[in-house]
Amino acid sequence: MDAKLLTKENNMKRLIRVNILFILLLGLIACAHSNFQEMAYKALASSASVYENGYPAFLELHKQGIISDAQKAKGRDLAVKYWAAYHAAQEALEAYTNYQSADNKDKVNVAVNEMNKLLIDLTKYIEPFLKAR
Amino acid sequence: MDETRIQIGVAVLELILKYGLPMAMELIQALDKENVTADDIRALAYRVPHPDTYEKEG
Protein backbone atom coordinates (compact mmCIF):
# COMPACT_ATOMS: atom_id res chain seq x y z
CA MET A 1 0.00 0.00 0.00
CA ASP A 2 1.47 3.34 -0.97
CA ALA A 3 1.79 6.28 1.37
CA LYS A 4 -1.15 8.16 -0.16
CA LEU A 5 -3.57 5.27 0.38
CA LEU A 6 -2.26 4.72 3.88
CA THR A 7 -2.82 8.38 4.71
CA LYS A 8 -6.36 8.20 3.31
CA GLU A 9 -7.08 5.12 5.38
CA ASN A 10 -5.73 6.74 8.52
CA ASN A 11 -7.82 9.83 7.84
CA MET A 12 -10.95 7.68 7.58
CA LYS A 13 -10.19 5.99 10.87
CA ARG A 14 -9.60 9.31 12.51
CA LEU A 15 -12.79 10.72 11.06
CA ILE A 16 -15.00 7.95 12.34
CA ARG A 17 -13.43 8.21 15.76
CA VAL A 18 -14.08 11.91 15.72
CA ASN A 19 -17.62 11.18 14.58
CA ILE A 20 -18.36 9.04 17.59
CA LEU A 21 -16.98 11.75 19.77
CA PHE A 22 -19.28 14.26 18.20
CA ILE A 23 -22.18 12.11 19.36
CA LEU A 24 -20.67 12.23 22.80
CA LEU A 25 -20.55 15.96 22.40
CA LEU A 26 -24.26 16.14 21.69
CA GLY A 27 -24.96 14.59 25.04
CA LEU A 28 -22.50 16.67 26.96
CA ILE A 29 -23.79 19.86 25.47
CA ALA A 30 -27.37 18.87 26.20
CA CYS A 31 -26.50 18.23 29.83
CA ALA A 32 -24.15 21.11 30.44
CA HIS A 33 -25.91 24.11 28.95
CA SER A 34 -29.13 25.65 30.11
CA ASN A 35 -29.83 27.83 27.07
CA PHE A 36 -32.30 25.79 25.08
CA GLN A 37 -31.76 27.46 21.73
CA GLU A 38 -28.00 27.23 22.03
CA MET A 39 -28.22 23.58 23.07
CA ALA A 40 -30.39 22.72 20.08
CA TYR A 41 -28.15 24.65 17.72
CA LYS A 42 -25.08 22.79 18.94
CA ALA A 43 -26.85 19.46 18.69
CA LEU A 44 -27.64 20.15 15.05
CA ALA A 45 -24.25 21.63 14.21
CA SER A 46 -22.30 18.79 15.77
CA SER A 47 -24.53 16.12 14.23
CA ALA A 48 -24.01 17.77 10.84
CA SER A 49 -20.27 17.44 11.35
CA VAL A 50 -20.65 13.76 12.09
CA TYR A 51 -22.61 13.20 8.92
CA GLU A 52 -20.42 15.39 6.73
CA ASN A 53 -17.36 13.43 7.77
CA GLY A 54 -18.70 9.93 8.22
CA TYR A 55 -20.99 9.36 5.27
CA PRO A 56 -18.55 10.41 2.52
CA ALA A 57 -15.91 8.17 4.11
CA PHE A 58 -18.39 5.29 3.95
CA LEU A 59 -19.06 6.02 0.26
CA GLU A 60 -15.35 6.05 -0.39
CA LEU A 61 -15.15 2.47 0.84
CA HIS A 62 -17.80 1.51 -1.70
CA LYS A 63 -15.85 3.21 -4.46
CA GLN A 64 -12.84 1.18 -3.42
CA GLY A 65 -14.89 -2.02 -3.63
CA ILE A 66 -14.57 -2.71 0.07
CA ILE A 67 -18.30 -2.68 0.73
CA SER A 68 -20.97 -4.20 -1.46
CA ASP A 69 -23.80 -2.49 -3.29
CA ALA A 70 -26.27 -3.93 -0.78
CA GLN A 71 -24.26 -2.66 2.17
CA LYS A 72 -24.00 0.74 0.56
CA ALA A 73 -27.75 0.77 -0.10
CA LYS A 74 -28.47 0.09 3.57
CA GLY A 75 -26.11 2.88 4.58
CA ARG A 76 -27.82 5.23 2.14
CA ASP A 77 -31.26 4.37 3.55
CA LEU A 78 -30.06 5.24 7.05
CA ALA A 79 -28.41 8.42 5.76
CA VAL A 80 -31.61 9.53 4.01
CA LYS A 81 -33.56 9.03 7.24
CA TYR A 82 -31.01 11.06 9.16
CA TRP A 83 -30.97 13.76 6.47
CA ALA A 84 -34.76 14.14 6.67
CA ALA A 85 -34.71 14.22 10.48
CA TYR A 86 -31.92 16.80 10.53
CA HIS A 87 -33.84 19.16 8.29
CA ALA A 88 -37.03 18.64 10.27
CA ALA A 89 -35.10 19.55 13.42
CA GLN A 90 -33.58 22.61 11.75
CA GLU A 91 -37.02 23.80 10.63
CA ALA A 92 -38.42 23.23 14.11
CA LEU A 93 -35.59 25.21 15.66
CA GLU A 94 -36.05 28.04 13.18
CA ALA A 95 -39.76 28.13 13.99
CA TYR A 96 -38.95 28.23 17.70
CA THR A 97 -36.48 31.06 17.08
CA ASN A 98 -39.20 33.05 15.35
CA TYR A 99 -41.83 32.29 17.99
CA GLN A 100 -40.68 30.92 21.33
CA SER A 101 -43.78 29.07 22.48
CA ALA A 102 -43.89 25.96 24.65
CA ASP A 103 -45.40 24.04 21.75
CA ASN A 104 -42.57 25.01 19.42
CA LYS A 105 -40.06 24.10 22.10
CA ASP A 106 -41.60 20.64 22.44
CA LYS A 107 -41.41 20.21 18.68
CA VAL A 108 -37.70 21.03 18.75
CA ASN A 109 -37.11 18.52 21.55
CA VAL A 110 -38.91 15.76 19.68
CA ALA A 111 -37.20 16.56 16.39
CA VAL A 112 -33.70 16.77 17.90
CA ASN A 113 -34.17 13.51 19.79
CA GLU A 114 -35.31 11.79 16.61
CA MET A 115 -32.37 13.25 14.69
CA ASN A 116 -29.92 12.04 17.34
CA LYS A 117 -31.43 8.56 17.30
CA LEU A 118 -31.14 8.31 13.53
CA LEU A 119 -27.61 9.67 13.55
CA ILE A 120 -26.62 7.00 16.05
CA ASP A 121 -28.30 4.35 13.85
CA LEU A 122 -26.29 5.58 10.87
CA THR A 123 -23.03 5.80 12.77
CA LYS A 124 -23.44 2.37 14.32
CA TYR A 125 -23.93 0.91 10.85
CA ILE A 126 -21.03 2.57 9.09
CA GLU A 127 -18.52 2.52 11.94
CA PRO A 128 -17.57 -1.18 11.70
CA PHE A 129 -16.78 -0.80 7.99
CA LEU A 130 -14.49 2.12 8.67
CA LYS A 131 -12.86 0.47 11.65
CA ALA A 132 -12.21 -2.68 9.63
CA ARG A 133 -10.02 -0.75 7.18
CA MET B 1 -33.43 15.72 34.95
CA ASP B 2 -35.79 14.14 32.43
CA GLU B 3 -35.50 10.67 30.97
CA THR B 4 -33.94 11.84 27.73
CA ARG B 5 -31.14 13.59 29.57
CA ILE B 6 -30.49 10.53 31.70
CA GLN B 7 -30.25 8.37 28.58
CA ILE B 8 -27.90 10.85 26.96
CA GLY B 9 -25.82 10.98 30.10
CA VAL B 10 -25.44 7.21 30.19
CA ALA B 11 -24.46 7.16 26.51
CA VAL B 12 -21.95 9.92 27.17
CA LEU B 13 -20.33 8.00 30.01
CA GLU B 14 -20.06 4.88 27.88
CA LEU B 15 -18.41 6.84 25.11
CA ILE B 16 -15.99 8.56 27.49
CA LEU B 17 -14.93 5.14 28.78
CA LYS B 18 -14.46 3.91 25.23
CA TYR B 19 -12.67 6.87 23.67
CA GLY B 20 -11.27 8.89 26.55
CA LEU B 21 -12.17 12.22 28.03
CA PRO B 22 -9.27 14.41 26.82
CA MET B 23 -10.19 14.12 23.15
CA ALA B 24 -13.86 14.59 23.97
CA MET B 25 -13.15 17.72 25.97
CA GLU B 26 -11.02 19.08 23.15
CA LEU B 27 -13.97 18.81 20.79
CA ILE B 28 -16.34 20.31 23.30
CA GLN B 29 -14.13 23.34 23.70
CA ALA B 30 -13.84 23.67 19.91
CA LEU B 31 -17.61 23.79 19.56
CA ASP B 32 -18.29 25.98 22.55
CA LYS B 33 -20.03 28.58 20.45
CA GLU B 34 -21.66 31.42 22.28
CA ASN B 35 -24.33 33.89 21.23
CA VAL B 36 -26.15 31.75 18.68
CA THR B 37 -28.08 34.07 16.37
CA ALA B 38 -31.09 33.56 14.11
CA ASP B 39 -28.70 33.71 11.16
CA ASP B 40 -26.64 30.88 12.65
CA ILE B 41 -29.79 28.77 12.91
CA ARG B 42 -30.88 29.61 9.36
CA ALA B 43 -27.41 28.68 8.11
CA LEU B 44 -27.90 25.15 9.45
CA ALA B 45 -30.40 24.62 6.63
CA TYR B 46 -27.51 24.68 4.16
CA ARG B 47 -25.58 21.93 5.87
CA VAL B 48 -26.27 18.18 5.58
CA PRO B 49 -26.74 17.64 1.86
CA HIS B 50 -28.86 14.74 0.66
CA PRO B 51 -26.81 11.50 0.61
CA ASP B 52 -27.09 11.25 -3.18
CA THR B 53 -25.39 14.63 -3.53
CA TYR B 54 -22.05 13.10 -2.59
CA GLU B 55 -22.29 10.57 -5.37
CA LYS B 56 -23.18 13.19 -7.96
CA GLU B 57 -20.19 15.24 -6.84
CA GLY B 58 -17.89 12.24 -6.76
Domain ranges of chain A: 3-132
Give residue B37's Cα distance to chain centre. Answer: 18
pLDDT in tens, B24-52: 554 554 466 778 899 999 999 999 999 99
pLDDT in tens, A18-67: 555 566 555 555 545 458 888 888 888 878 877 887 888 899 999 999 99
**Architecture of the domain delimited by A3-132:** Up-down Bundle (1.20)
Amino acid making up residue B24: A
B 21-50: CB under 8 A from A? 23-24, 27-28, 31, 33-34, 36, 38, 40-42, 44-45, 47-50
Query: From the list B8, B23, B51, which residue is nearest A79 (CB)?
Result: B51
pTM recorded for the entire structure: 0.72
Domain ranges of chain B: 22-58
For A44-64, give one letter per residue: b (16+ CB within 10 A) or e. bbbbbbbbbbbbbbbbbbbee
Choose from A22, A24, A64, A104 for mutation: most chain B CBs within 10 A. A24
